[in-house]
Structure 1
């Protein structure tokens, strides 16, 4: 059971503070040029555009060696990061107001319009552990391609339990993303901080899981994190986020 996706994302993003990073962690406008290369394009089929509103690609990243068939590679507009995603998924760039001082802000949606994840860079972040809560850690993988001097970030799919909530839909918050925060130990953990160390300060790439969301585009009959992890949607999201790398 979980809080609404928008509320979870707001809670995670709210951890982005003003000042130097402590625990690494966190409107729409016209879409500018984006950068996409795809396995279909490599074979001479398909297009290299990311969204219906994107203008033609201005640059491409080298696709990863394990790019799944029918996937494409997206390069951020500043040319610094790239990731792979299913060809039918749509990239909105920019997805909203970018951080002060620049950076990128993109959102990835499935064909039904459901948000799969957002990527933001150049975020000044700082998180305080005001209250620990019971947690669940369902998935975790280190991402060496994003290693910085302070350590190696990891992809996680995790939850936090609010024991004070009486509404079942608000008892548990679940989210997936990249984090530089230490992996929790013991029965409780600090709030989720899906932010990772990335020059010049920090970045985020992740999204939320809401089994109470019944809008079109959601996997049917999925009501637990364990069941969600077996769906093609989660597997595609995981492959996409863990493919994030410097755009060489």
Structure 2
């Protein structure tokens, strides 16, 4: 279990040391909202998204994204055995999710004709949101050190010859001294090209979907202390080996046109 925020102090120092060693192996940070050069859309702004409490790491970056998930540990975390299929209210998209998770329809908060839903664990922890009919324009306001931890194509969602990817990314804000503000991390589907070079723009996790774009993803917060979290998970590398992340990746990459 991640150490509660109330017991930081020495705990923060231990985490900082751990994050520094992780950074030397390619650990940086990811933003919830996509990459420089995101897919063009009908509007200049993107919908509001939840704020993410970040953590810290040492500078450093890699421009090489993994082409497949990291090798499994000697004792792989179990994944969900029972799955259900959920079809969106407009009947256009569907995805699979663990039977114990719930899907909350938040359509009343969406724009007219759009889909907005949230996937939660049995304990009520928010794991991902799916939205359609969203604007996908984005400006590159700054360049930020980054790293890619996971990259999986989602061919069922190909549009205009472009295959989007499920991506787990990290972004580092080195000027921030507060461990809760220095980094943000996110996973989701993106039609944008993967970053390259030593830094990247703030990333927008949106993919092309009629009539404009859509989003399906969530955030990783190692300071989260929700009941049911797996123990000893305080880095994104460790999180990727958990059953929760593996189920999230399977769920998000299962997104497809309804009936396929």
- For the aligned pair, the TM-score class normalised by the smaller chain equals 0.7 to 0.9
C-alpha spacing 1:21/1:152, structure 2 compared with 1 (3 Å): farther
The reply on whether 1:129 has 2:140 as its aligned counterpart is yes
List runs of 5+ in structure 2 lacking aligned partners: 1-14, 17-29, 48-79
Which residue of structure 2 aligns with residue 12 of structure 1? 33
TM-score normalised by the chain length of structure 2:
0.70
Residues in 1 aligned to 2:81 and 2:239: alpha-carbon distance in whole angstroms: 23
Measure the CA separation in 1 of the matches of 2:44 and 2:150: 24
The CA RMSD measured in Å over matched residues stands at 2.6
Equivalent position of 1:209 in the other structure: 220
Q: Give matches, 1:1-248, under 5 Å.
A: 12=33, 20=42, 69-94=81-106, 97-99=109-111, 101-248=112-259
Relative contact order higher in (CA < 8 Å, ≥ 6 apart): 2
- Measured after TM superposition, the shift of residue 221 of structure 1 is 1.5
Shift of residue 150, structure 1, vs aligned partner: 5.0
- C-alpha displacement of 1:21: 6.0
Alignment partners' CA distance in 2, 1:214 and 1:107: 19
- Determine if contact 2:41/2:213 at 8 Å carries over to the other structure: no
Q: TM-score, normalised by structure 1?
A: 0.73
Distance 1:150 1:22 in 2: 23
Deviations 1:73-130 (A, max 9, x none): 000010000000000000101265112x311000000011000100000112210011
Separation of aligned partners in 2, 1:150 and 1:246: 16
Q: Are residues 166 and 144 of structure 1, via their aligned partners in 2, closer, same or farther at CA, if it must alter by over 3 Å? A: same
Shift of 1:69: 4.1
Task: Give distance in 1, aligned partners of 2:180 and 2:255.
Answer: 31
Deviates more, 1:214-223 or 1:128-137: 214-223
What is the CA–CA distance in structure 2 between the aligned matches of 1:92 and 1:174, rounded to whole Å? 23
Number of corresponding residues: 197
